Structure 1
Amino acid sequence: MKSWLLAAAAAVSFASAAHAFDGAELYEGEAALYEAAQQEGIVVSFDTGPTWANWAAQFKAFKERYPGVEIVYNDLGSAATVVALEKTKNRPQADTAYYFAGSALDAADKGVVAPFQPVNFEKLPAPFKEAEGRWFTIHTLNIAFLVNTNLVKDVPTSWADLLDEKYANTIVYLDPRSTGQGQVLVFAAALGNGGSMDDIAPGIDYLTKLHQAGNVMRTVGTTPYAQFVKGEIPIYIGYENDGLKAKYTDGMGDAVQVVIPEEASAAAPYAISMVEGAPNPNAAKLWLNFIMTDEGQARFADGFVRPSVPGVALPAEVVEKMPAAPQLQPLDVAKAKEMKAAVDSAWSKAVLGGQ
């Protein structure tokens, strides 16, 4: 880990500091923070792989606005990021860390992240942030129906629709016992069938009915995205962004339709934190504020993930791809984490007969 960081730091030019950006501030105090960040010259961003959630575009926009502040990153994965932060706790290398919010809870519990409340923090729903800012949600991934319209002529729009016999042997979803997405799906099914974060029984009952109806082709332990894109899966209950990526990036075009079920669905939070003892704290704050401004939030939507800040205006071409979905409800990751064993047991017993 040290070698890549040293190489990245060596690549930073510490020549004359760039002048402040032109135009108005995005938020009060931005210019002063930028000046302080220039003295550090770099921000180290853990787990922000450029092909995920439009991070590449965020990097580019950040560098354009803040010359003289380099940004370097790695792509570890959520759980591995927490492990890396813990291992380097005495001599932190990262300034910020991004992960599924369940891992953010672990990072906060281990004391490796610091409180910081960025721009728009107060607008976030309570389940989308730690009260003092040790983590906060920057975008969501949302459970949707990804429908191959070459294989399914009558596109379902609701959880109720999926129970129809015409969808026999068409549905694939991820096993909740071994995947985070599968866990989120159980809560989404509960929310869409009269349940809540505290009452998953309606979700378990619904999935049981779906299996009993013969509509589930299979459940899987790893993402079936490649199989979906190849045309091997009629309906994949998964994350909305995968369907949009298949449609607009990976060649499926009009052969895929992405549907947020009309009753309700779950919005799973992806979060970021400032690292405790960050070596470049001002650059870290500049980066975190940047991605939480309205402009930064809208940029995430270009990568097919929904902004976490309510009411952010999106360009018309983005809205066309990702229309408003007021039925999405925030997943409370603290409750979801507490209930994982109960979800695993209930799903296994009801759906698989205790296997």
Structure 2
Amino acid sequence: MTVRTCAAAAAILASAGCGASSTEPTSTDTKNLPPVNARATSMKAGFGTMERLAETAKREGQLNVIGLPREWVGFGEIIDTFADKYGLKVVELEPGASSRRELDAAAALKPDVFDLTMDVAVSGADRFAPYKVQGWQDVPDDVKEPSGAWYAAYGGYMSIGYDPRAVKPPASFADLVNPGYRVALDGDPLRSAAAFDGVMAASMRSGVPEPEQGVALFGKLKQAGRLTDPSRANTIVAWDHLNAARSAHGPETWKVTIPRDAPLGGYHVQAINEAAPHPAAARLWQEFLFSDEGQNLLQKGFARPARGEAMLMKGTLDTEQAAKLPKTPGPPVLMTIPQADAAKAYLKREWTKSVG
């Protein structure tokens, strides 16, 4: 994967996604439908219609998800809507699991589906069952595996959330070293992907991550006694959907900005467990997430839906909610996997020495 600032990568943000919209089969003539195959690589090949897919999934009776906190991009409402719509029980395994933990725990916990950061998905692609949702063509080519092993559902920008009553709007990450800012990351960057990406956003120079710059900035904050935890911070570096959700609850007490010089973006991708105990339910879940309804629910959680651009063109995107997303400075920059690996190695050597 390479650094992208093209229209395809921009799909994360404005109202992401590109390509032609998909259509659902309209024939109800069962004579022309394929035999039901719960492990098929597409709805058309294994079921023929959404109705047959839903019926097959309902007979399985259950869907096991993992690593989906209910407050994360509105997954609580998404899970409840899916369960009610299709009459399925949804078992929520380890909601707080990291992407790596999702894969490590799969043999024991038996999830049907995964929600993963892209680097973890790339490394674990041989453990997934390829499946192309009906909205496949709407998902940017740069953020999907060609066979359908994994594909981005939503994305966002790393952002700075701040209390406007306490500090001035920061124009850049460099402003955070100024007096008054009490700054928090979303976890420990040696363990949390979100915190690591926060350090990387602070490290961006002309679209290229320079991890030593990010470590140096947070080192200065630590030395000044102004690097703290979120409960005591007036400024939080986190994904924009988290800061935007907080702002929605108190717009006068919390604002969000995406610095112009550091438009670091990221995607979360979906995959079906090759050993899914409920294979039809897993495929139905993916179809729901990538449907207009599912994508709009993700956007309601302040994520940026992968099919957003196509939906905007069709008139099916919730434009009122889209207008509530934090304003972006332009197309996102995505780190390459080699860049991310090099940065992780640098932080492993230097973070504790410089920041603690």
SS in 1 for 2:132: coil
Residue of structure 2 in register with 1:119 after alignment? 134
Among 45, 65, 90, which residue is 1:71 paired with?
90
Higher relative contact order (CA 8 A, sep 6+): 2
Residue of structure 1 in register with 2:239 after alignment? 239
- Judging changes above 3 Å, is the alpha-carbon distance between structure 1 residues 169 and 325 closer, same or farther for their aligned structure 2 residues? closer
Matched, 1:35 2:33: no
What displacement does 1:148 show? 0.7
Q: Which runs of 5+ in 2 are unaligned?
A: 1-21, 26-48
Hey, what's the Cα distance between the residues in 1 that align with 2:307 and 2:338?
21
1:99-148 per-residue CA deviation (whole Å, 9 max, x = no partner) reads 3334334433xx43211222333333445333322222222243111111
Residue of structure 1 in register with 2:200 after alignment? 187
Among 291, 295, 307, which residue is 2:305 paired with?
307
What displacement does 1:329 show? 1.8
Matched, 1:298 2:296: yes
1:201-248 per-residue CA deviation (whole Å, 9 max, x = no partner) reads 2x533663675599965446xxx33x1xxxx32322222233223223
Hey, what's the Cα distance between the residues in 2 that align with 1:135 and 1:216?
43
1:290-325 per-residue CA deviation (whole Å, 9 max, x = no partner) reads 101232111012122222334144434423431452
Residue of structure 2 in register with 1:10 after alignment? none
- Judging changes above 3 Å, is the alpha-carbon distance between structure 1 residues 177 and 50 closer, same or farther for their aligned structure 2 residues? closer
Matched, 1:139 2:154: yes
The amino acid across from 2:190 in the alignment is R
Asked if the contact 1:170/1:216 (under 8 Å) is kept, the reply is: no
Hey, what's the Cα distance between the residues in 1 that align with 2:286 and 2:322?
25
- Judging changes above 3 Å, is the alpha-carbon distance between structure 1 residues 339 and 132 closer, same or farther for their aligned structure 2 residues? farther
Asked if the contact 2:243/2:256 (under 8 Å) is kept, the reply is: yes
Residue of structure 1 in register with 2:112 after alignment? 95
Alignment of 1:1-355 (within 5 A): 27-28=24-25, 29-66=49-86, 68-76=87-95, 77-78=97-98, 79-87=100-108, 93-108=110-125, 111-152=126-167, 154-159=168-173, 161-162=175-176, 165=178, 167=179, 169-173=181-185, 175-191=188-204, 193-196=205-208, 200-201=209-210, 204-205=212-213, 208=216, 217-219=225-227, 224-225=229-230, 227=231, 232-249=232-249, 252-311=250-309, 312-313=311-312, 314-325=317-328, 327-329=330-332, 331-332=334-335, 334-335=337-338, 337-344=340-347, 348=351, 352=354
Asked if the contact 2:202/2:217 (under 8 Å) is kept, the reply is: no
The amino acid across from 1:149 in the alignment is P
What displacement does 1:328 show? 4.9
Residue of structure 2 in register with 1:13 after alignment? none
1:257-298 per-residue CA deviation (whole Å, 9 max, x = no partner) reads 111112342222222211113222222111101101232111
SS in 1 for 2:266: strand
Q: Which runs of 5+ in 1 are unaligned?
A: 1-24
Hey, what's the Cα distance between the residues in 1 that align with 2:74 and 2:23?
20
Asked if the contact 2:155/2:303 (under 8 Å) is kept, the reply is: yes
Identity between Structure 1 and Structure 2 (%): 21
Asked if the contact 2:264/2:333 (under 8 Å) is kept, the reply is: yes
Q: What is the number of equivalent residue pairs in this alignment?
A: 304
Cα RMSD after superposing both structures? 3.3
Q: Compute the TM-score of the two structures, normalised by the length of structure 1.
A: 0.72
1:67-97 per-residue CA deviation (whole Å, 9 max, x = no partner) reads x444332234123321221346xxxx33212
